[in-house]
Amino acid sequence: MTSPHLSRRSLTGIALAGAAALAATGTLPASRAHAADSADSALPPLDTRALQAALDDLEHPPATAAQLKVAGSAGRWYGTSGVADVRTGRPVQEDDRIRIGSVTKVFVATVALQLVAERRLDLATPVQRLLPGLLPDRFAPITLAQLLNHTSGLPDHVGLPELDTPEQVFRHRFDHWTPERFVETATRRPLKFAPGTCQEYRGVNYVLAALLIERITGRPYGEAVTARLLRPLRLTRTSVPGDDPRIHGPHVHGYLRMTDGRLRDVTTYDMSASRGEGDMISTPKDLDRLLSALFSGVLLPPRLLAKMFTLPPPEVRMLDGTPARYSTGLQTATVNGIALWGKSGEHYGYKSVLLSTRDQQRRVVISGNPTTLGDGNESRLIERVLGVLTRR
């Protein structure tokens, strides 16, 4: 998740199997799709009619657009529904940019692990040693590894604006935060648990991880991401916006439905409260390319790539007692007996997920533009799509 509001409401802990709902507001033009390749026998064939139907259900809950990119050895397909801009009625295009929310964490974790591979960072090094004065002395040591797999125990934020209504979100959309000030809001209470003993998904962990990258590289974290991932992989439509609240180039707009029924555009948004944990912009095509390179071992040595597919020990559980589901930079879920790894993310007006089987037989990027504000139904599109993709 990307905003202070979403982080505080713990919506960031949604598992991949229940991560996004994409539905629409009003009558939308006919959707478009591209033909599928033949499917691998290890997974069900691509049912393109059912996939398109899943995208076209833009009413549960309301959203303005949805798109799906399926890749891998078990078949390829791309489809869309809805519009990129409700004012002009322009249909969604494959290269349209979107806000990717917490999918940003995959980029940050990968860069951090690259620095570990270069012996410039150590997963066991306490944050307090490299970022002195940022966390209170009363806190137990918190390591980079514990930030990356959400076992830090950092307390809840105190002092963030209330964003419980769409009007409040719209009013605060240009609030600006420095990362240091944002981290400070999560240091006023005691640690929730001893670091490493429990798991709770927290965006602030990756704000700190991005600061560590900056401390080691001597450059803004976005420059490190660009130099290490975006340029080498030719992710030309992916960016780290920094202090720029706009999305440049063709993009899908994000909207929120106000309590009086009006639909308001929230595309332009100051993402400083999500710096390093949910502020990036990308496209489904670029995200699929990143996932392919990462899972293929192009970006990390085997011993560190393995950490992205390794959950904490069984005794480390989520706060609600359920098994841990976050590894270093990724999360996992099993749908219809098929294990998937990847990451979900959201920001107001945007929801996305990228995931894959470990062997890349099936890679999936789903993106949508829900207009509701955390009403608990946001997962329905992804549940529909994953059901079709894994149903045997």
- What pLDDT, in 10s, does the model give residues 82-111? 999 999 999 999 999 999 999 999 999 999
**pLDDT mean across residues, the chain:** 90
Inform me whether the pLDDT recorded for 225 exceeds 80.
yes
Q: Which residue has the higher pLDDT, 39 or 156?
A: 156
Task: Tell me how far apart the alpha carbons of residues 162 and 9 are, in angstroms, rounded to a whole number.
Answer: 11
The mean per-residue pLDDT over the stretch 303-310 comes to: 98
- Read off the pLDDT band of 374 (50, 70, 90): confident
pLDDT tens digit sequence for 337-363: 999 999 999 999 999 999 999 999 999
The pLDDT value given to residue 26: 25
Residue recorded with tokens 């944050």: 127
Residue 70: pLDDT over 50: yes
Q: Set out the domains of the chain in order of their start, with CATH numbers.
A: 4-390 (3.40.710.10)
What are the backbone dihedrals phi and psi of residue 182, each rounded to the nearest 5 degrees, phi first? -65, -45
Buried b (16+ CB within 10 A) or exposed e, 140-167: eebbbbbbbbbbbbbbbbeebeebeebe
Contact 59, 25 (CB under 8 A): no
Residue 228 is classified by DSSP as I
Query: Before 61, cis peptide (omega within 30)?
Result: yes
Kindly state the tokens that stand for 275: 């710096």
Tens digits of residue pLDDT in 261-284: 999 999 999 999 999 999 999 999
Number of Cβ within a 10 Å radius of residue 317: 16
Share of the chain above pLDDT 70, in %: 89
Residue type, 285: K
Percent of the chain clearing pLDDT 90 (strictly above): 85
For the chain, give percent helix, strand, coil, nearest 5. 30, 20, 50
**Spatial separation of the C-alpha atoms in residues 41 and 52, rounded to whole Å:** 22
* Tokens encoding 277: 């944990």
Helix (H) or strand (E) holding 85: strand 77-85
Q: Give the list of residues 6+ apart from residue 322 with CB closer than 8 angstroms, or none.
A: none
pLDDT single digits (tens) 163-187 = 999 999 999 999 999 999 999 999 9
Q: What are phi and psi of 16, to 5 degrees?
A: -55, -35
212-245: string of b/e by CB count within 10 Å (b at 16+)?
bbbebbeebbbebbbebbbeebebebbbbbeeee
**pLDDT at site 378:** 75
pLDDT at 60: 86
Predicted confidence at residue 54, as pLDDT, reads: 96
Instruction: Say whether pTM exceeds 0.85.
Output: yes
Residue 93 vs residues 120, 282, 310: alpha-carbon distances, Å = 40, 13, 36
Q: Compute the distance between CA of residue 76 and CA of residue 165 in angstroms, rounded to an integer.
A: 39
* pLDDT at residue 36, rounded to an integer: 37
Give the chain's largest Cα–Cα span: 58
Nearest Cα to 317, choosing from 204, 206, 200, 203? Answer: 200
- Integer angstrom CA distances of residue 189 from 211, 268, 350: 21, 33, 31
| pLDDT for 366 | 97
Predicted confidence at residue 232, as pLDDT, reads 98
Tell me: pLDDT of 61 over 80.
Answer: no
Are 343 and 326 in contact by the 8 Å Cβ rule? The answer is no
> In 93-146, where do the E strands start and end?
98-99
Residue 32 scores a pLDDT above 80: no
21 pLDDT band, cuts 50/70/90, is very low
Residues 6+ apart with CB under 8 A from 344: 14, 16, 19, 20, 101, 102, 103, 331, 351, 352, 353, 382
